[in-house]
Amino acid sequence: MTTVDNAELDRMLNDAFAAASKLYKERGFQRRVGWGKRPALVSVDLANAWTRPGNPFTCDQEKMNNELIPGMQKLLKAFRAAKFPVVHVTTAYEITDRNADFTDMGLWHDKIPVEAVNLTDKDLWAIDSRIAPIPGEYTLMKKRASSFHGTELAGILRANNVDTIVVTGVTACACVRQTICDGIADGFRTIAAREAIGDRVPGAVAWNLFDIDAKFGDVESVDDICKKVATLAKA
């Protein structure tokens, strides 16, 4: 897509969002879930296969380098200073043969190129070095879109008295969205970090953040989230 095409797409989306917002508000949607007392940062699939060029899963590199990674760096700094939990989520598969009698991916391999994140190539599913985990942070391996589905995430968060999750990462239309949907369903207050969420497809981030904000969580800016985290740390 050209720059002009993207600008036109943004205009069309904004027009659609304005009309949809009116409908949602009239019907009681777009309420605020708000913050609790102890948040955790849940970073979804910000591993090399998604953040670096050259992989089928690679996301928009302009946004990744200019917004998403810098946004994540700000959030990590805020959460680390506040001593709130940080969970880095990644995805990889051990059995990537589509014809195998038994796999660890369900039937997802019939839709997406899961062989591009083979467990044997650690560099692919390692968290991007620009936002690498530090001692005391947890790296979680998932097999499905949601970071909650079939994983220990909810149990770990509850054991650490977490009541709010700030979700970042990729992709807006799949793993980030599903994590937020399952997060609020499991009883966590869900906050989506606007500038720290990406995708591969133009328009996917804007549309999904709009829809998430209407029904599944509160979309907030990275700067506002950092300020809130600092305030909660003092409390």
Peptide bond into 171 cis (omega under 30): yes
End-to-end CA distance of the chain: 47
Q: Which of 59, 173, 175, 226 is catalytic?
A: 175
Q: Which two tokens stand for residue 202?
A: 């133009």
Active site residue 226: no
In b/e form, how buried is each residue of 32-70, taking b as 16+ CB within 10 angstroms?
A: eeebeebbbbbbbbbbbbbbbeebebbbbeebbeebbbb
Q: Of how many residues is the chain composed?
A: 235
Residue 234 structure tokens:
């003092």
Beta strands in the chain (DSSP E): 39-44, 86-91, 138-142, 164-170, 189-198, 218-220
Dist CA 212 CA 228 (whole Å): 20
The Cα 57–Cα 52 span in angstroms is 9
CA quadruple 204, 182, 211, 209: dihedral positive or negative? negative
The structure tokens listed for 221 are 């800016």
Residues with catalytic annotation? Answer: 175
